[in-house]
């Protein structure tokens, strides 16, 4: 009799253990499912927020501003090897550190929006090989670009720059060939025009854009680059 009672007790205990284990497993599965769902929801929410309300003007502005920023960074990278002017070196470093992260930010927006990133060939003033060849066939009598004053460069066909203040390939080549005081003057004048183009485009998107994130960046560009324009104009007048 005692043996039968013991067997019943053992059987009951085993059933309870199995039941508890099953409940625990179900609860763990439920928690895992809930956690995965929550994580997916947060991720989707983040993507939706980044992609947020926007219009065609926002997309066009970002697609234009990415190569615009890339050229500013390229100009800034020329500075340390071409001048010893500490003010220009510091300003170039400031521009590079500010605009590099902004490029990544804008590329993220285009990805979230499902919009294509601009290629370098699509940059204003560039042809399919990335060069603006208009007016540059030459007859063997053209003066070396590195010796051209800025007023002469900007008045020659094909040397006007690419729009939105961007340099043409020829202006970039001339800048690369310049050194010291000549480089300083050329770099400041070209970067002022470059900044003015960015400010004008940013002021326009503040009126026509829909994306709050784009508007915040545009306002930041207006404020920071207007201050840098004033700084560069002061350096030119030293």
Express each pLDDT in 69-107 by its tens digit.
999 999 999 999 999 999 999 999 999 999 999 999 999
Of 221, 227, 223, residue with least CA distance to 68: 221
The answer on pLDDT for 33 being more than 70 is no
Give the C-alpha separation, 152 to 28, whole Å: 75
More confident residue, 36 or 220: 220
Q: How confident is the model at residue 163 (pLDDT cuts 50, 70, 90)?
A: confident
Give the C-alpha separation, 226 to 53, whole Å: 28
CATH architecture of the region 55-236: Up-down Bundle (1.20)
Q: Can you tell me whether residue 166 is helix, strand or coil?
A: strand
Cβ-in-10-Å burial (0-12, 13-18, 19+) of 75 comes to buried
State percent of the chain over pLDDT 90: 58
Chain segment 191-231, per-residue pLDDT in tens: 999 999 999 999 999 999 999 999 999 999 999 999 999 99
State residue 154's pLDDT score.
43
């Amino acid at each position: 009799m005692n043996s039968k009672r013991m067997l019943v007790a053992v059987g009951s205990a085993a059933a309870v253990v199995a039941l508890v284990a099953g409940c625990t497993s179900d609860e763990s599965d439920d928690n895992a499912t809930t956690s995965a769902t929550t994580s997916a929801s947060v991720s989707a929410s983040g993507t939706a927020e980044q992609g947020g309300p926007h219009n065609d003007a926002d997309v066009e502005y970002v697609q234009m501003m990415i190569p615009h920023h890339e050229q500013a960074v390229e100009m800034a990278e020329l500075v340390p090897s071409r001048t010893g002017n500490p003010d220009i070196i510091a300003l170039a470093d400031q521009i590079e550190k500010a605009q590099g992260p902004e490029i990544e930010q804008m590329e993220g927006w285009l990805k979230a929006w499902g919009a294509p990133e601009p290629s370098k060939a699509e940059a204003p003033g560039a042809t399919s090989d990335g060069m603006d060849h208009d007016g540059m066939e030459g007859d063997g009598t053209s003066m070396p670009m590195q010796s051209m004053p800025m007023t002469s460069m900007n008045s020659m066909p094909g040397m006007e720059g690419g729009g939105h203040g961007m340099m043409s390939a020829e202006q970039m080549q001339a800048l690369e060939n310049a050194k010291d005081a000549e480089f300083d003057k050329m770099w400041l004048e070209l970067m002022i025009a470059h900044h003015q183009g960015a400010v004008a485009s940013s002021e326009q998107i503040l009126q026509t854009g829909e994306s709050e994130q784009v508007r915040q960046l545009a306002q930041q560009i207006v404020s920071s680059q207007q201050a840098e324009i004033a700084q560069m104009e002061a350096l030119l007048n030293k």
